[in-house]
């Protein structure tokens, strides 16, 4: 036994020695420095849908509309363009321009009836406040239409000299504003300008309540005088030259910085019905499609039903049924059954947000599988 123990111990010593020498530190796993490859699962409809771009530009990997120059971005803009406001169509713009172009003749027409309309607007304020002061302004424009533009100019200078319109102050000190006005006047302009000055302060101190009624009246006088002035100076060519003749660029306010490439005018979202939704529609119709089995040459008939649906899934009007193949009797029978099925299956439960895609539905009936 001792011998065998020695033999065993020796064998173990050999084995352990071999293990220690050969099973040295196992080779460390070499982990290559590989960047994790991101794999995204993207729904296919995001690829198949139309991307916003330029319809005339060449095809590129990423579609982009024609670049815009304006830097300022507009929030939530969908349509590409240089505008500040997001507009959907280019068509309305030129229409507005036309109206603007037509506008100048209108003021030209107005000055002709000026004497007549002037009394018309004036009576309106009169009944509201007082009838007495109203006739006073009336005579003023009549006697000297030419002189009126002159009083306007000094009035403006006064306003420039005294920015805080001293209406209450004028009541307290009547002479004070007059004196500096006189001092300024000789420097500002010619002699006749002095006359209207005393006229204007006079009404102010007399009746404060009447000022309001007078002021609009004066303004109207001014307008009428201005329009009358235009009447005389109206030159269609000059005005036409002043008008902005730039073509309306139209479009929206969305900015684009990339080079133009092929694409649609708008990015569409997944508008097509998914397979499961089409299956649901098919199943809904099939439930009501009953055909008599054993009809002769029923397999050859193909029925196509075209129907228009409203938002709630009901059929608008009458579904359009066309049947082909087979004998006339079978054809009419199957066409009738298809129509009945379509009518009975409503309302159709379809996603409301994709109404654009199922507003018109074409259903193909193939009875060959039913026989």
Which residues make up the interface to another protein (CB under 8 A)? 1, 3-5, 7-9, 11-12, 16, 19-20, 23-26, 28
CB of 73 to another protein, least distance (A): 45
CB of 22 to another protein, least distance (A): 10
Our CA angle for 273, 276, 278, nearest 5°, is 50
CB of 37 to another protein, least distance (A): 22
Instruction: Give the H or E element holding residue 323.
Output: strand 315-324
CB nearer to another protein: pick between 17 and 92: 17
CB nearer to another protein: pick between 7 and 243: 7
Return the residue matching tokens 């849908």: 49
**Distances in Å between the alpha carbon of 348 and those of 68, 213, 352, 363?**
44, 67, 11, 13
Sign of CA dihedral 242, 246, 248, 252: negative
CB nearer to another protein: pick between 36 and 191: 36
CB of 1 to another protein, least distance (A): 5
How far apart CA 270 and CA 254 sit, in angstroms, is 22
Instruction: Give the H or E element holding residue 215.
Output: helix 208-233
CB of 11 to another protein, least distance (A): 6
Sign of CA dihedral 322, 327, 330, 332: positive
DSSP state of 66: P
CB nearer to another protein: pick between 16 and 160: 16
CB nearer to another protein: pick between 8 and 136: 8
CB nearer to another protein: pick between 33 and 40: 33
User: 23: burial class by Cβ within 10 Å (0-12, 13-18, 19+)?
Assistant: exposed
Structure token digits, residue 32: 């290559």
The candidate with the shortest Cα–Cα distance to 199, out of 150, 161, 254, 250, is 150
CB nearer to another protein: pick between 8 and 364: 8
CB nearer to another protein: pick between 28 and 187: 28
Contact 286/338 with Cβ under 8 angstroms? no
Q: Which residues pair with 363 in a beta bridge?
A: 305
CB nearer to another protein: pick between 28 and 232: 28
Structure token digits, residue 275: 């397979």
How far apart CA 64 and CA 258 sit, in angstroms, is 6
Angle in degrees, 0-180, between the axes of helices 328-345 and 275-286, rounded to the nearest 10: 110
């Amino acid at each position: 036994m001792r011998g065998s123990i020695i033999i065993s111990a020796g064998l173990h010593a050999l084995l352990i020695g071999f293990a220690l020498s050969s099973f040295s530190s196992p080779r460390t796993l070499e982990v290559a420095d590989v960047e994790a490859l991101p794999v995204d699962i993207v729904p296919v409809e995001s690829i198949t849908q139309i991307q916003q771009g330029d319809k005339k530009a060449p095809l590129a990997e990423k579609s982009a509309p024609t670049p815009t120059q304006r830097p300022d971005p507009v929030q939530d803009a969908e349509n590409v363009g240089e505008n500040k406001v997001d507009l959907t169509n280019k068509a309305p713009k030129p229409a507005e321009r036309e109206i603007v172009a037509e506008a100048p003749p209108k003021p030209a027409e107005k000055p002709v009836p000026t004497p007549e309309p002037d009394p018309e607007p004036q009576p309106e304020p009169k009944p509201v406040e007082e009838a007495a002061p109203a006739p006073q302004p009336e005579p003023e424009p009549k006697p000297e239409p030419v002189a009126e533009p002159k009083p306007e100019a000094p009035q403006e200078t006064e306003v420039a000299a005294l920015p805080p319109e001293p209406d209450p102050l004028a009541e307290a000190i009547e002479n004070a504003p007059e004196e500096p006005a006189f001092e300024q006047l000789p420097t500002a302009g010619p002699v006749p300008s002095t006359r209207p000055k005393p006229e204007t302060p006079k009404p102010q101190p007399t009746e404060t309540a009447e000022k309001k009624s007078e002021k609009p009246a004066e303004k109207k006088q001014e307008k009428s005088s201005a329009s009358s002035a235009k009447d005389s100076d109206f030159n269609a060519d000059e005005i036409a030259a002043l008008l902005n003749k730039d073509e309306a660029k139209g479009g929206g306010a969305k900015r684009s910085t990339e080079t133009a490439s092929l694409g649609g005018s708008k990015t569409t979202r997944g508008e097509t019905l998914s397979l499961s939704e089409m299956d649901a529609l098919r199943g809904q119709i099939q439930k009501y499609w009953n055909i008599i089995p054993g009809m002769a040459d029923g397999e050859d008939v193909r029925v196509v039903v075209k129907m228009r649906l409203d938002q709630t899934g009901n059929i608008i009007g009458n579904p359009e049924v066309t049947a082909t193949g087979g004998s006339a009797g079978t054809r009419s029978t199957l066409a009738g059954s298809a129509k009945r099925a379509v009518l009975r299956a409503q309302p159709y439960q379809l996603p409301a947000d994709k109404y654009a895609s199922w507003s018109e539905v074409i259903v193909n009936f193939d009875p060959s599988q039913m026989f």
